[in-house]
């Protein structure tokens, strides 16, 4: 796990557990506020994709895990692709020598402890997602079985289920990394 984030050219220290927890709460508060604004604005008509892209941006900038960048190491253990690099022969002809970093794999490979933490975070996250899907199925069955319950919500059923599925998608994309950030103790800083 990385101990700092670079945001708009400024380095933010995230070594303390308290700061990471504040970041997790801020991320979920912003995602919930965006969901509320989008529902008020258009009642989910064509705006659900904004939620998906907001979650992707949050993962790339802050959380990491499924994407390079962010605080959590990539879950797949692969280094990011180097785009736009000329072939090595051309670099030699132009007398441009790239330094060879031998220990670069350690930045991306997870050790046994990190793999265990990652697997446990996914286990907890998917339990939460499973409960969320079961709640959505329960609401759907209650609305289908009892016609009197059709008017208990101020929104139509399709908007309710779409909003719930968007919330579950946000959890699917962000919850394992958030659990890792929330539970990891304070990191040692190298000052």
- pLDDT tens digits, 129-170: 999 999 988 888 877 777 666 666 666 777 888 888 899 999
Residue 30 lies in a domain: yes
Residues 6+ apart with CB under 8 A from 184: 1, 17, 20, 117
Angle, helices 17-42 vs 157-183, to 10°: value is 170
Q: Is residue 151 part of a domain?
A: yes
Flag whether 191 is in a domain: no
- Residue 16 in tokens: 């303390």
Q: Give one word for 45, left, alpha or beta, with left for phi > 0 and alpha for psi -120 to 50.
A: beta
Q: Which residue would you say has higher pLDDT here, 36 or 2?
A: 36
Answer whether residue 188 is part of any domain. Answer: no
Q: Is 31 a member of any domain?
A: yes
Residue at 79 is within a domain: yes
User: Is 29 a domain residue?
Assistant: yes
- pTM, full prediction: 0.74
Q: How many domains does the chain have?
A: 1
Give the torsion sign (CA, 156, 158, 162, 164): positive
Nearest residue to 121 (alpha-carbon basis) of 51, 72, 157: 72
pLDDT given for residue 129 in this prediction: 93
Closest CA to 176 of 126, 109, 115: 126
Residue 190 lies in a domain: no
Give yes or no for a contact between 24 and 182, defined as CB atoms under 8 angstroms apart: yes
Q: How far apart (Å, rounded) are the C-alpha atoms in residues 148 and 143? A: 8
Full domain range(s) for residue 153: 4-100+110-183
Residue 101 above 50 pLDDT?
A: no
């Amino acid at each position: 796990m990385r101990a700092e984030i670079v945001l708009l050219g400024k380095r933010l220290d995230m070594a303390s557990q308290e700061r990471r927890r504040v970041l997790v709460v801020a991320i979920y508060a912003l995602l919930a506020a965006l969901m509320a604004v989008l529902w008020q604005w258009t009642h989910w008509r064509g705006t659900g994709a904004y939620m998906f892209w907001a979650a992707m941006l949050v993962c790339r900038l802050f959380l990491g895990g499924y994407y390079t960048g962010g605080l959590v190491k990539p879950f797949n253990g692969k280094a990011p692709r180097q785009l736009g690099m000329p072939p090595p022969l051309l670099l030699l002809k132009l007398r441009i020598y790239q330094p060879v970093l031998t220990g670069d794999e350690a930045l991306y490979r997870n050790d046994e402890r990190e793999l265990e933490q990652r697997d446990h975070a996914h286990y907890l996250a998917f339990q939460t997602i499973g409960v969320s899907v079961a709640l959505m199925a329960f609401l759907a069955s209650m609305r289908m079985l009892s016609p009197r319950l059709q008017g208990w919500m101020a929104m139509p059923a399709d908007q309710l289920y779409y909003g719930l599925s968007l919330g579950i998608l946000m959890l699917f994309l962000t919850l394992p990394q958030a659990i890792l950030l929330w539970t990891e103790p304070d990191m040692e800083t190298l000052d």
